[in-house]
Chain A
Amino acid sequence: MIELRDVRFVYPGARRPALDGVSLRVEPGRTIGLLGPNGSGKSTLVRLMNALLLPTDGTVSVDGIDTGDDASVWTIRSRVGFVQQNPDNQIVGTVAEEDVAFGPENLGVPPAELRVRVDDALAAVGLTGLERREPHLLSEGQKQRLAIAGALALKPSYLVLDEPTAMLDGAGRADVLAALAALRARGVGIVHITHHLEDVLGADRVIVLADGRIAYDGTPVELVGDPSRAGSLGIDVPPIVVLADALRREGIAVPRDAVTAEGVVESLWPS
Chain B
Amino acid sequence: MALVARDLGYTYSAGAEYRIEALRGVRLTLERGDLLVIAGVTGSGKSTLLRLLAGLLEPGTGDVEVDGDAPRSRVARGRVAIVFQNPESQFFAETLMADVAFGPRNLGIDAAEDVAAAALASVGLDPVAYGGRSPFTLSGGEARRGAIAGALAMRAPYLLLDEPTAGLDDSGRRDVLAAIGRERATSGVAVVTHDPDEFLGDATGLLALDAGGVVFEGDVRDLIDRPEGYLAAGLRLPDVVQAQVLARERGAVIDRVELQPLAAARVLAQARRAER
Contacts and interface: CB of A to CB of B under 8 A. Distances in A.
Given A86-B140, A140-B85, A172-B42, A239 B238 contact: yes
Contacts of B166: 166-167
B170 A236 contact: yes
Contacts of B239: 238-240, 243, 260-261
B42 A168 contact: yes
Interface string B241-270: 011001100111000000011101110110
B246 A172 contact: no
Given A38-B139, A139-B42, A169-B41, A269 B236 contact: no
Contacts of B77: none
A39 interface: yes
B250 A265 contact: yes
B265 A250 contact: yes
B171 A234 contact: yes
Contacts of B266: 246, 250
B172 interface: yes
Interface string A240-271: 10111011001010000000111011001101
Interface residues of A, number: 40
A85 interface: yes
A236 B27 CA distance: 35
Contacts of A240: 239-240, 243, 261
Contacts of B262: 242-243, 246
A265 B242 CA distance: 9
A239 B201 CA distance: 11
Interface in B39-88: 40-43, 85
A19 to B, nearest CB: 16
Contacts of B272: 252, 268-269
B194 interface: yes
B141 interface: yes
A108 to B, nearest CB: 35
Interface string A150-161: 000000000000
A240 B189 CA distance: 27
B165 to A, nearest CB: 9
B194 A247 contact: no
B25 interface: no
Q: Which 7 A-B pairs have the closest CB atoms?
A: A169-B194, A246-B265, A240-B239, A139-B42, A261-B242, A269-B250, A243-B261
Given A140-B85, A235-B170, A262-B246, 4 more contacts: A38-B142, A170-B41, A195-B167, A261-B240
13 contacts: A38-B168, A168-B42, A170-B235, A239-B238, A239-B261, A240-B240, A242-B262, A243-B239, A243-B265, A260-B239, A261-B243, A262-B246, A271-B250
